[in-house]
Chain A
Amino acid sequence: MLSKKEKELIADIWESLTPVAEDIGADALLRMFASYPGTKTYFSHLDISPRSAHLLSHGKKIVLAIAEGAQDIGQLTVTLAPLQTLHAYQLRIDPTNFKLFSHCMLVALACHMGEDFTPVAHAAMDKYLSAFAAVLSEKYR
């Protein structure tokens, strides 16, 4: 459960990251591919080498979606409705991968924010990303 303070903290952090969305997103994706090679199987149609145009644009897309959800966490199911359909019927990414990506996103945030990624921020972010992943997989079955 996210407290009011946590929701505000999360909204603030993601708003501040919007200008570097493609760097954070690409970083998280690259980390996931390095630590969990099985995740690469979903990207055989893209060039996912470091700094590739595909990787940057894809990373940006993901971060902007996460940032958009963060602006009104209570409305996640509404905000993510189109992405729910996309993931359930087209992408069909096994939901265990969402956990792997979330972990790598947390590591990317830690590298980027250093000391500012406090335990309280970390806890809030972990909860938010879990909620985001859960909503994303709601239409799977």
Chain B
Amino acid sequence: MVQWTDFERATIQDIFSKMDYETVGPAALSRCLVVYPWTQRYFGNFGNLYNAAAIMGNPLVAKHGQTILYSLERGVKNMDNLKDTYAELSVLHSEKLRVDPDNFKLLTDCLTIVVASRMGKAFTGEVQAALQKFLAVVVSALGRQYH
């Protein structure tokens, strides 16, 4: 089981309690689709992803970005049992959506960048390390049911 230090727990709770889910989720997902365009392969039915402006303004991308972030919130509330928290979603991503699990890291890297740009100087190296550790465990949990 993952061991969390007091600093890591407090930092994760703090970041997510102050987060604007309505904008950060869409910002992270749309950034991922712009920076790593091959990830668009999973969003064929989302309409216009033709260029950065289209992606940033796409309402389906925005809605899905929010969905992803609310799902992360579940993880924040269950830091000591991320494996079980994401078991169902892992099966979904593996069997139905067939997403290459390497893509999860691309999305979490973009989320880290979005949080960094919003928090500025407050996003210290230690805060970054804590967030990355949390996201890495979520990513690992999401990849567990792939066979």
CB within 8 Å of B: which residues of A?
A: 27, 30-31, 33-35, 103-104, 106-107, 110-115, 117, 119-120, 122-123, 126
How far, in whole Å, are A19 and B123 apart by their CA atoms in the complex? 22
Which residue from chain A places its CB closest to the CB of B132 in the assembled complex?
A35
A34-B128, A119-B31, A122-B34 are known contacts; what are 6 more A-B pairs with Cβ within 8 Å? A35-B125, A106-B113, A111-B120, A111-B123, A119-B35, A126-B35
In the complex, the chain B residue whose C-beta lies closest to that of A106 is B113
Shortest CB-to-CB span from A122 to chain B, Å, is: 5
Q: Which residues of B contact A110 (CB under 8 A)?
A: 113-114, 116-117
CB distance from A118 to the nearest CB of B (A): 8
Q: How many residues of B contact A (CB 8 A)?
A: 25
A33 touches which of B35, B109, B125 (Cβ 8 Å): B125
B interface residues (Cβ-Cβ under 8 A, vs A): 30-31, 34-35, 52, 55-56, 109-110, 112-114, 116-121, 123-126, 128-129, 132
Chain A hits for B128, CB < 8 A: 31, 34-35, 104, 107
**Could you write out 21 A-B pairs with CB less than 8 Å apart?**
A31-B125, A34-B126, A34-B128, A35-B125, A35-B129, A103-B109, A106-B113, A107-B116, A110-B114, A110-B117, A111-B116, A111-B119, A111-B123, A113-B117, A114-B117, A117-B113, A119-B30, A119-B35, A122-B31, A122-B35, A123-B52
